[in-house]
Amino acid sequence: MGSQLIHQLVSWAAGLRYDDIPAHTAALARSQIISNLAAVRASAAHPLGGKIVAAFGTPFEGDARQTAHVLAALSMCLEYDEVAYSGHPSASCVNVALAYAGQEQLDGRQLITAVVAANECATRFQAGMLLGSFFRGQSATYTHLLGAAVARLHAQEHKTAIWEDAVGLAFGILPTPVEHAFLNSDAKVLVAATPVRMALDACDAAVAGLAGPHDVLEGPDGVLAALSDVPMPDAVVAGLGRRWHTDTLSFKRYPASAYLQAAFECAERIAAGAGAIDPDDVAVVRVDGSILTFLLQHKAAPFLAEADTATAALTFSVGYGIATILLTGSLTTADLAGDGLRDPVRWALADKVEVRHDKNLTRRMVAATVPLGEALRQAGPRAMQVPAIAAFGDEAQELLAELGPPSESFADATMAIGARVEVELRDGTTLVEELGQATGMAGPPTRDTHQELVAAKFTASGGHADALVDLYRLDELDAGAAATAVRKALA
């Protein structure tokens, strides 16, 4: 790979300026900031968010480190954050940039640039280790080590040597999530917040002169090899400055995994068309989805305990989400607590939901850019080294051959996690909706409407219209106005 990966990444990121970023990419990053602020608002109004604030303080009332930490916890706790190829970048990339923007007096363009620089580095790193048993989308704690460090260092305009030491130090100790704790408690709120704090410590250490290993990512003993069955250092730096991972952003309409968005939208359409559905009239609800939806439901199922279900498991539950939508017409963050969560009728309907794997939906999902297709294109024949892929034998090899080479650009990136929902009533009536891709997921419609989508999310979270107007024109704001706009957005 020539020069070390950290050097290649941070040399590029340190030199990135707003005018280097394509206009459509910068616009997506602005929407990412608005969507993230909406998620923070929604979480702060939820009982779990209240506990986070009680533990770590109110954002922007402490120093930048404290603000970054609590924002990271709030943005992820209700699974209302954004996704990209690869991973969930906003918790670190956006929130650390927001936290340091006021302190460093960044104008709107500088703030957006710091976010994009962090997005590109963090998602590229996760893309390089995506294929393997250690891959965990949102619980990939190590992604936030890089995202947090880059966002802060770009905001503070440090010399490249400081960047290299800080990133090397950040990767010296990897925080590893425990899946049982992630799904059966509130530990998930720390999955980004803890590595954010670790990365900021590493930055402080590097500024003070501590040295980090600049070659920690690559090689047989490096971080990529430790985390992946098929480490892909080539994916970390492929197309720097030409292939923008920020272009792959997807925005959720529901507080739930991206793997569930299409199924929930189908249920919402059924509820809108059928009106009030008596749960006693429902015989069964069948959900056909890709392998990702199927596996997610089975991962969450052992941790569902009705009113005692941890929020993390609740946001992974196909049954609870669909039952809520069929009964109320929607799923909001308010449904993740309170009377709805304690409603035995809702849980009885959730028990009637069956999730099935549809191979055609899986093939369509894999053919898209996010969350897996581009990683398989980048890996090529190497993907057969992953045991879960090799188990499919000739079928997997055929699929890999169909995918073709890696994409030269992500300007046309897609995320096609579809679903089919069928509600069978006891009188024999069947209500069916099918979607190949949920609203808000990466693709042509989202590229055309992302501003409207995040505006709806922001106002639904209680955000004020005048704050939204300022955020729309973030790239026009000076440092004082940008800081005011961010604070107003959370007021």
pLDDT at 259 over 50: yes
Note the helical H segments in 90-140. Answer: 90-103, 108-128
Beta bridge partners of 420: 288, 434
Tally of CB atoms within 10 A around 149:
32
Q: What is the predicted pLDDT for the residue at 136?
A: 65
Domains in the chain, please, with CATH?
5-252+444-489 (1.10.4100.10), 258-358+417-435 (3.30.1330.120), 370-403 (no CATH)
User: Tens digits of per-residue pLDDT, 340-349?
Assistant: 999 999 999 9
Q: What average pLDDT does range 192-214 have in this prediction?
A: 98
Q: CB under 8 Å to 96, separation ≥6 — which residues?
A: 68, 72, 118, 147, 148, 151, 152, 155, 196, 199, 200
CB 441 within 8 A of CB 250: yes
pLDDT at 135 over 60: no
pLDDT at 446 over 80: yes
pLDDT range class, residue 1, cuts 50, 70, 90: very low
d(CA 113, CA 206): 22
pLDDT at 134 over 70: no
Tally of CB atoms within 10 A around 279:
14
- For the chain, give the mean pLDDT: 95
Which pair of structure tokens corresponds to residue 121?
A: 């580095």
CB 34 within 8 A of CB 468: yes
User: Tens digits of per-residue pLDDT, 370-420?
Assistant: 999 999 999 999 999 988 888 888 888 998 999 999 999 999 999 999 999
Q: What average pLDDT does range 214-231 have in this prediction?
A: 93
CB 129 within 8 A of CB 135: yes
pLDDT at 175 over 50: yes
Alpha-carbon dihedral sign for residues 194, 200, 202, 204: negative
